[in-house]
Chains A and B, each alone.
Chain A
C-alpha cells in the first residue's frame, strides 16, 4: 500500500499457480496484461482506485463460498460480475460493504481496501463503511410506510448529516433527478413509497442510496425483478452515475453486462461444494469478444451455465 493510497500491482506472478486444480484459474486484478485494449488498464486510470480486494475468501460457517478473489475497481467505471448461479457473485458483492457479516456464521479472510483503509480491519466501522459503499438490492426495498421524500432523507438522517430545510428539499430533488424519477413523483413526494411501481421503487432505492453520497455503489442484480422498460431506464441511469461514482453490478443478463459495464469479471464454481472462484477479468469488450479462458467463452456464448 503506497502512501497516496494507490493500489499496488497485484498480479498473477504473486500468486503461484502450481496447484493443478487451479491451473486454469487466472486470478488477477483488472490491470492484468489486458492493458492496451480499448480501455486503459485499471492501474493506468488517474487517481487512486476506490476499491480493491486482496485474496478475499468468504465463508458461511464452515462452507467456503468464495476463494481468493483479487479484483480492483477503477474510479468512475462500471464493473459487471457475471457467472452461473451459486458461483459466489452475490456473496462477494455483499462482502464489499460488510453486509455479508449480517448473515449468521458468515466470515471473511483477506482484505477489502476502500482507498487506503481495509474495511475489515479493527478500526473501520461497519456503519460508516456502508455509508461510503452504498448498495441496491435485487428486489426494490423502499421503506413502504415512509413517504418518498422520507425514504430519500433516511440515509442522511441515519448519518446525522446537518442539513438545513432548503438543503433537504434540494437533496430530495437532486437525488430523484439523478435517479430519473423526479418528473414522475414530484407531485406526490409525501405519499408512501409502497405505492410506486416496481421500477419506480428500484429507482427510488438508487436515489436513496445516492443521498448519502457514497463513493462506490454496489448493485446486486438490480433489474432482475423489473420489466424490460424499467430495466433499460436503470441501465441508462447506471451509465450516468458512473460519471460520479464507481459501480459494481452483479447480473445474470449477459446483454446487460455488455451494455452497461466497462469491465467484466467472470466467476464460476467447478463442482458442487467447492468455493466460487474468479476465472477471468478484463475490459468487457475482451471478455465478450475474445475471452482467454475456454470456460469464459463457453459461458458468455451460452454453452454453459
Chain B
C-alpha cells in the first residue's frame, strides 16, 4: 500500500512551511540581537567589561569637552533599588489579595474582585506614569517632606535613607508605583497556585480544629511556598524591565546610595530617555546597558521558571504570566469546592483472610481522664487564637486596599480629567501646536496606534501560529523535528522575558540606524517582536488541548497529517488562537518604550509606513514629560482614557471568544 505522491508532498510541504516559519522568526531576532551586541564593542574596548559594569560614573558630555565616562553601576543600583521597594509592597499585598480572593471573601465576590485586580494589569505603564506625575507626586509631597524632616537624620552605614530635599521624582514614589504595577502579576500566580491546594489538605486542617487563618498558614501556604517564591521572582523580572513609568517618576540622575526621597535612574529608564539623542560612544554604552538588563532579566526569569515550574501549577502558568496574559481566560475557574461529597462507589474488597502475623496495634497508653473540650463560650477558642486570626485577616483586608485604592484612584482620575477632554474634535483633530491649549485631538495618534497594531499583527500572527503548529504538532512526527522544536520553544520563552525597551533598542539598531530614518514599520516590528512569543505560547497551549482522540480518529480514517491539522485541530483551536492574538494586541497597544526611538512620534497626520508616526501611548508620554502644562496633561488624560478603552475592548473580545473555547475542555 502506498500513498499517492501528492498526499506525501502535501505533508512534506506542511512540515517545511512551519519549520521555515519558526526558523525565520528565530533568525530575524538573532540577527537583530547580533546587530545590538556588535554595537557595544567600543564600550568594552574603552572601559573593559568589569570596568564598565562596576563604573559608578555616567557623564555623557564632560565639561572639559573630552570623551564621556560611562559606568553601569548607578543604573544597576537604581533598577535593584526600585525593584526592591516594589517587591516589598507587592509580595505581601499579592499574597493577601490572593488569599482574600480564594479563601476569605464571600464566594460571590471572589471572582469580581479577582477580575478588578486583573484590571490593574490592563492599565498601561504610561498611564501609571501620568497618574504618578499629575496626582501622586503633588499629593505625596507634604507627607514625604514630613518624612524628610523627621527621619532625615537617620543614616545606615553613612547612607542617609530619608535625607531631603524631596524631589518630584524619587526612588520611593517610583518604587511604590512599580509595586502597584507588578502586583496583579504576582497576585494572579499566587492565586492560581493556591487554587491547586488539594481540598483534602484544607479539610485535614479544619478537621483538627484549625481556624481559617490557621488552616491557611498550615495547609495552604506550605503547599504554595515554591509557587509564591517563583511568583515573586517573576514580579522581579517584570519590575527590572519596566521602563516608562519609572522614566517618568524617578527623575534621571545616576546616583548611588542617595536618599530614597531623591532622584535616581534605572537601566531601562536611561535607555528610554537618552537613546534618541545619544552620541556614538554613549549609544554604545546604552546598548551595553541593554545587554546588562537583558542578562539580568534572563537570569531572574530562568530562576522564576525553575521555581514556578516546580510548584503545583506548572510551567504553563509560568509562560502565561511572563506573557502578561490575563489568567483563566480559557480555563474554567475551579475556585469552588466541588458540589456535594457523595463519594464514588467503592468496590467492596471481599473477605480478606488475615495475613499471618499482622502485628497487633500496640497498647494505647492510658492518659487518665477523658479531656472534655469546651465547644461553646470563651474557652472554645482562646483569645490569643482569636486575636491572631483577626490580625491575619486584617492584613488580608489591608492588602485588598493596597490593590484596589490605586486602581480606583487611576480610574477615577482618568474619568474626571479625561472625559472633559473628549469630544468629537478629540477624534478628528490634530494635537494643538500651542502647549497651553486644549483645542485639538489625537486623530493622528489614534490612527497611528491602529496602524502600528496592524503591522504587529501582520508580523507576529502568521509566524506565531505557524511556529506554534511546528512546536506542538509537527514536532511529534520525528526526532529531528522534536529537537528543533525544543530549541525554538526555549527561544520563544527567552523572548517572552525580553524587556520591551530592549525590543525597541534592537529594532532601533537593526532597522532604524541601518535605514537611516525612523518609521512606522520599525515601530510595528518592535511591537511584533513583543507580540510574537505571546501568540506562540497561547496558540501552543490551546493546540495541546485538542484531545488526542480527535486527531487519532482522523488519522485512523487515513487522513494525512496536514489534513488532520487543517480540518480537525485548527477548527477546534481557532477561537483559542484568536483569544491569544487579541490578548497580545491588547498588551502591545499600551507599549510606549519600544516606540520612542522606532516610530518616534509625529505631530502631523501620517499613514505612511516609512515615515515616523504618532501613537497614543507615546502622545501621553510626550505630553506628560515634555510639555508638562495643565492643558497638555488634560489631553494626556483624555488619551489615556481612549487607550484604556481600546485595551479593555480587546480584552473583552478575547473573553467572549474564549467562552467558545471552554467547550474544548469539556469534551
Contact = CB atoms under 8 A, between A and B. Distances in A.
A12 interface: no
B376 A244 contact: no
B375 A114 contact: yes
Of B208, B210, B373, the most chain A CB neighbours within 10 A belong to: B208
Given A124-B376, A158-B208, A103 B358 contact: no
Contact of B223 (A61, A128, A145): A145
A16 interface: no
Contacts of A178: 361-362, 364-365
B478 interface: no
B380 A215 contact: no
A102 B207 CA distance: 11
A30 to B, nearest CB: 21
Nearest to B352: A228
Interface in A117-131: 117, 119, 121, 123-125, 127-131
A158 B358 contact: no
B200 interface: yes
Interface stretch (B77-85, B114-122, B285-293, B337-345): B337-345
B209 A127 contact: yes
B205 interface: yes
Given A124-B376, A127-B381, A180-B362, A60 B222 contact: no
Interface string A144-174: 1110000000110111100000000000001
Interface in A71-93: 84-86, 88, 90-91
Contacts of A60: 339-340
Where chain B touches its partner, the secondary structure class is loop
Nearest to B375: A128
B365 A158 contact: no
Interface stretch (A34-42, A134-142, A278-286, A288-296): A134-142
Q: How large is the interface on A (under 10, 10 to 19, 20 to 34, 35 or more residues)?
A: 35 or more
B62 interface: no
Contacts of B342: 65, 85-86, 88, 90-91
Of A125, A178, A180, the most chain B CB neighbours within 10 A belong to: A125
A35 to B, nearest CB: 26
Interface in B403-433: none
B349 to A, nearest CB: 6
B373 A215 contact: yes
Contacts of A243: 364
Given A154-B218, A213-B371, A224-B346, A99 B203 contact: yes
B344 A155 contact: no
Contact of A141 (B200, B222, B349): B200
Interface string B357-369: 0111111110100
B377 interface: yes
Contacts of B351: 255
Interface in B304-340: 336-340
Contacts of B358: 229, 232-233, 236
B211 to A, nearest CB: 5
Given A125-B381, A128-B380, A182 B364 contact: no
Contact of B360 (A231, A236, A241): A236
A157 B209 CA distance: 10
Contact of A252 (B225, B346, B384): B346
A160 B222 contact: no
A15 interface: no
Interface in A28-58: none
Nearest to A131: B209
B348 A254 contact: yes
A94 B199 CA distance: 14
A60 to B, nearest CB: 5
Contacts of A94: 341
B219 A104 contact: no
A90 B350 contact: no
A139 B200 contact: yes
Given A233-B361, A252-B346, A99 B340 contact: no
B109 interface: no
A117 B374 CA distance: 10
Given A114-B375, A158-B210, A143 B339 contact: no
B380 A177 contact: no
Contacts of A11: none
A93 to B, nearest CB: 10
B550 interface: no
B207 A209 contact: yes
Contact of B364 (A84, A115, A131, A244): A244
Nearest to B371: A213
A143 B342 CA distance: 24
A287 interface: no
A158 B214 contact: yes
B382 interface: yes
Contact of B339 (A86, A104, A134, A208): A104
B224 to A, nearest CB: 11
A252 B344 CA distance: 10
B548 interface: no
Contact of A85 (B211, B222, B337, B344): B344
Nearest to B217: A158
Contacts of B202: 102
B370 interface: yes
A25 interface: no
A143 B373 contact: no
A254 B218 CA distance: 36
A224 B348 CA distance: 9
A130 to B, nearest CB: 5
A249 interface: no
B385 interface: yes
B355 A128 contact: no
B340 A103 contact: yes
Contacts of A196: none
A157 B385 CA distance: 10
A152 B365 CA distance: 16
A189 interface: no
Given A86-B342, A125-B381, A130-B207, A236 B364 contact: no
A117 B223 CA distance: 36
A236 B381 CA distance: 34
A248 interface: no
A102 B208 contact: no
* Minimum-distance CB pairs A-B, first 8: A131-B209, A180-B361, A128-B380, A141-B200, A135-B207, A132-B373, A155-B208, A125-B380
Given A128-B376, A130-B209, A229-B358, 6 more contacts: A60-B340, A128-B381, A158-B205, A158-B211, A240-B361, A252-B347
14 contacts: A61-B339, A103-B341, A104-B337, A104-B339, A127-B211, A128-B374, A143-B204, A143-B222, A178-B364, A183-B362, A205-B204, A213-B371, A241-B364, A244-B370
